[in-house]
Copies of this chain bind each other. A is one copy, B any other.
């Protein structure tokens, strides 16, 4: 009989996420070990507990999930976890703080269902937030020419440089989006438009982002009204609105959930996986 599947939950918040706990259980995990207030500096002892308790041949039955509301904190925890591994002494680990990876993957997969991303033109609004950065990366990795739009041009440049460092062949342009006029110019002529803004910030009024030239698909990842792209409803799921295929945050939620569960199950297939944006996106492709 194989060992029971144990998922160790590292959460940076003071309460471990119930969301992540329920999804883990629904993905077939036998035992969940939740840890709140996890910091990079207290990860080592916890990871030792994961890697020194089972035979190497059974280490694929233990895994780590990194969640919590702060994506940067989650990234720091992931770096600390990876630094603790050595040789075969490792377990698989998944990062999905604030749902950023599964949300970005679901958004790009929604677009890819309607547009061939290779060679397509795409714009990402609020591109410098944790979800926005990932959407830029995944669109670029899928072959799209991506405009990273941000109120802060310097941060847009930084995001493009960071993605280019991972993907030398990426075609990226940082774009200023400080005003509606600037943003309007930045999205002109794109096939795919994704808004990854913070809750309740309107990024573009309806008439400015929807025109004869496109886009073909528009995705707004904001669940709380007002959405960033006026006109899209949170529940839109391939809703056609004046010729544009629209998705809202709830509309991509079903796919996001499927990706999340598939990624958790994948963790228990081997002990050497690190599931971050691209790996989770690849898993998403297979569950479409």
Chain B residues with Cβ under 8 A from A49's Cβ?
17-22
Distance in Å from the Cβ of A276 to the closest Cβ of chain B?
22
Identify whether the interface residues of A are mostly helix, strand, loop, or mixed.
Answer: mixed
The residue of chain B having its C-beta at the shortest distance from the C-beta of A24 within the complex is B31
Most buried by B among A42, A52, A53: A53
Q: Is A33 an interface residue (CB 8 A)?
A: yes
Chain B residues with Cβ under 8 A from A14's Cβ?
37, 42
Chain A 13-38: CB-based contact to B (< 8 A → 1; otherwise 0): 01111111111011000111111011
Most buried by B among A6, A30, A32, A49: A49
Chain B residues with Cβ under 8 A from A257's Cβ?
53
Query: How many A residues are at the interface, by size bracket?
Result: 35 or more
Q: How far is the CA of A58 from the CA of B69 in the complex (A)?
A: 26
- Given the known inter-chain contacts A25-B31, A26-B54, A34-B33, please indicate yes or no for A8 contacting B3, CB distance below 8 A: no
B25–A6 touching, CB < 8 Å: yes
A18–B8 touching, CB < 8 Å: yes
Q: Is A45 an interface residue (CB 8 A)?
A: yes
Q: Is A97 an interface residue (CB 8 A)?
A: no
Residues of chain A whose beta carbon lies under 8 Å from any beta carbon of chain B: 3-4, 6, 8, 14-23, 25-26, 30-35, 37-38, 42, 45-50, 52-54, 62, 69, 253, 257
